[in-house]
Amino acid sequence: MGETIKDLTRTHRCGEVSLADAQNKVTIMGWVQKRRDHGGVIFTDIRDRSGIVQVVFNPEQGSKLFEKADTLRSEYVVAIVGEVEARPEGNINPEIATGEIEIKAEELRILDQAKTPPIQIEDDIDTGEDVRLKYRYLDLRRPKMTKLMQLRHQITKTTRDYLSEKGFLEIETPILTKSTPEGARDYLVPSRINQGHFFALPQSPQIFKQLLMVSGLDRYFQIARCFRDEDLRANRQPEFTQIDMELSFVNKEDIFAITEGLMQEIFALADIDLPEQIEWLSYQEAMARFGSDKPDLRFGMELKDLSAVVAESDFNIFSGTVKNGGQVKGINFKGGADSARSVIDGFEDYVKLFKAKGLAWIALKEEGLKSPIAKFLSDSELAAIQQELDAEPGDLLLLVADKPKVVAAALGNLRLKIAHENDLIPVESYKFAWIVDFPLFEYNEDEDRFVAKHHPFTAPVEEDIELLDSDPAAVRADAYDLVLNGEELGGGSIRINNRALQEKVFSALALTPEEQQDKFGFMLEAFEYGTPPHGGIAFGLDRLMMITGRTDSIRDVIAFPKTQRATSPLTDAPSQVAEKQLHELGISIRS
């Protein structure tokens, strides 16, 4: 059993004791980071979330105190009363914030003992994530993790302050809500009172925030938990957090202005400046130049269209692809001509992941051009390809011929892979862009119908409304994404605020009138009672955290994340439940 705090009051956090406190008596409480026992003198580092401070035990302080200090072990929880002393000249430790002082212990209380932790409580550990997650409460003691949690708090606080200032109201929307078609798989919650019926956890507060606009609440925001039952990735968790907002009586420029102000404040917390003007890039241009709707603009290596150059080529793979409506495009890996064959084969394997049938390459070596496809191309075609790609001796040209979608995915991703592997991306560089003019619909071959590119409540660009019937694929959406360094920070749109148009879009998505009524009837009805023009945007808080916290795993920025198989090693969730619980819910497990 540990001792109790009793009359003690903490006067300082460990990391906050400074030279200004010299000669003063302080009381600190925290964990034993380290004990360095010199026989005649014992040093301990005491840690709390603010940092560490050195406490010294001398025999002169009393043998009882000294003997007690001798029993201290890692992660014991202690309270220490002592006098702050400036360290003598040669003993200052510039590595730690409190290195100019130490605390001469006068009283030590062991508030709790601790087993030796399974992971070491220090920053640069290589411990596997399974162990870290099982003992997450220990992992979070590591300064790096503690700082990330602090940063997360600062970002949400900044968001609340900024948006409140701009006239937004923070309003909670239901967690137990209705399953709607479209979008991700829902997490379902059975209803005991209404057996056979299910709530769904929200994929986003989308419909509710629009209803709040119908209510006249004018400006809404929420730090909203969202749930999607899809497979996980390094930057995707089944439950994640959005900074979600919706505004009435605005156009997209209004939303951009408010959003940019918010991003400025958030990124300032991480010493990252936003540009005066964030550039706009159309979806079409982003896809054409970077093969992605979230282009990484920190480096070049842009995709160049070679279709015209090879349209009449004798090389059938190229000319045939162009004739069948496909494209031939290429990128230039500057200075890559001497890449080993195995490296180039690796590139080919990589583009095949994105359904490309192959990867053609031309290496411009010192001794001349080397390429398995050169013999199929005329000299003028080869020359034109090099010119389009701005090629010089030493370059490696990589070409893909396929459907536009495949070419974009293959070369867009290959561009990123090459850049990462060859350190072509400048560090501490931040390139923002608004991506605009998304298509409203995307054709889904599996389902043989159009699906919403953003979501079904997105308004079409006004001049494209007449195309809804004649050429749905050509309709542009009044939607936008904010992109940074190849990551989508957030996205939103101006919404439909009119029942007739909303029904028209639903119909274009092949929802029958009955489905529209059943799934969205309440929303359509709401739109009949005077709906203001409105729009909004939502940012992935976890992704903002990854960038500002400079980490590449989403699990590092969430206190208690799930593993890739969507489980929690800490709590062992999800788990089986008692037969009685299932019975109450009217559920039986099919085995």
Considering only residues 50 through 79, tell me which ones interact with RNA, judged by CB under 7 A. Answer: 54, 56, 58-60, 73-74
Peptide bond between residue 574 and the one before it cis (omega within 30 degrees of 0) = yes
543 vs 527: CA distance, rounded Å: 33
547 vs 556: CA distance, rounded Å: 11
Query: By rule CB under 7 A, what string of x and - marks binding of each residue 295-334 to RNA?
Result: ----------------------------------------
Tell me: does residue 176 bind RNA (CB under 7 A): no
| Residues binding RNA: number (CB under 7 A) | 72
| Selected binder of RNA within 43, 187, 198, 299 (CB under 7 A) | 43
| One-letter identity of residue 401 | A
302 vs 285: CA distance, rounded Å: 11
Q: Confirm or deny that 140 is annotated as ligand binding.
A: no
Q: Where are the alpha helices (DSSP H) in 269-335?
A: 283-290, 307-310, 316-323
Tell me: does residue 535 bind RNA (CB under 7 A): no
| Selected binder of RNA within 375, 565, 580, 590 (CB under 7 A) | 565
Are 330 and 362 a contacting pair, CB within 8 Å?
no
Are 114 and 89 a contacting pair, CB within 8 Å?
no
Q: How far is the CB of 365 from RNA (least distance, A)?
A: 30
Touching RNA, residues 486-505 (CB under 7 A): none
475 vs 481: CA distance, rounded Å: 17
Q: Name beta bridge partners: 52.
A: 47
Nearer to RNA, 446 or 448 (CB): 446
Are 61 and 102 a contacting pair, CB within 8 Å?
no
Q: Confirm or deny that 542 is annotated as ligand binding.
A: yes
Nearest to 293 by CA among 409, 398, 410, 420: 409
| Selected binder of RNA within 4, 5, 24, 36 (CB under 7 A) | 36
414 vs 563: CA distance, rounded Å: 27
303 vs 405: CA distance, rounded Å: 13
518 vs 515: CA distance, rounded Å: 5
Q: How far is the CB of 181 from RNA (least distance, A)?
A: 9
Q: Confirm or deny that 341 is annotated as ligand binding.
A: no
Q: Confirm or deny that 229 is annotated as ligand binding.
A: yes
| Selected binder of RNA within 6, 7, 40, 590 (CB under 7 A) | 40
Q: Confirm or deny that 120 is annotated as ligand binding.
A: no
Touching RNA, residues 393-422 (CB under 7 A): 409, 413
Touching RNA, residues 353-372 (CB under 7 A): 353-354
Tell me: does residue 222 bind RNA (CB under 7 A): no
Tell me: does residue 571 bind RNA (CB under 7 A): no
For residue 79, the 8-state DSSP code is E
402 vs 306: CA distance, rounded Å: 12
3-state secondary structure of 369: strand
15 vs 316: CA distance, rounded Å: 69
Nearest to 571 by CA among 157, 137, 221, 169: 137
Q: Confirm or deny that 540 is annotated as ligand binding.
A: yes
Tell me the window of 155-163, 209-217, 228-236, 579-587 that interacts with RNA (CB under 7 A). Answer: 228-236
Touching RNA, residues 235-294 (CB under 7 A): 235-236
Touching RNA, residues 96-115 (CB under 7 A): 96, 99, 102
Strands 169-170 vs 51-57: parallel, antiparallel or unpaired: unpaired
Tell me: does residue 574 bind RNA (CB under 7 A): no
| Selected binder of RNA within 109, 142, 453, 519 (CB under 7 A) | 453
Nearer to RNA, 41 or 149 (CB): 41
| Selected binder of RNA within 10, 13, 25, 87 (CB under 7 A) | 87
Q: Confirm or deny that 83 is annotated as ligand binding.
A: no
| Selected binder of RNA within 116, 277, 576, 591 (CB under 7 A) | 116
Nearer to RNA, 315 or 460 (CB): 460
Q: How far is the CB of 519 from RNA (least distance, A)?
A: 11
198 vs 549: CA distance, rounded Å: 38
| Selected binder of RNA within 47, 228, 252, 495 (CB under 7 A) | 228
Question: Residue 433: what are its φ and ψ, rounded to 5°?
Answer: -160, 145
Which residues are annotated as part of the binding site for ATP?
228-230, 237, 488, 540-543
Which residues are annotated as part of the binding site for L-aspartate?
182, 228, 454, 495
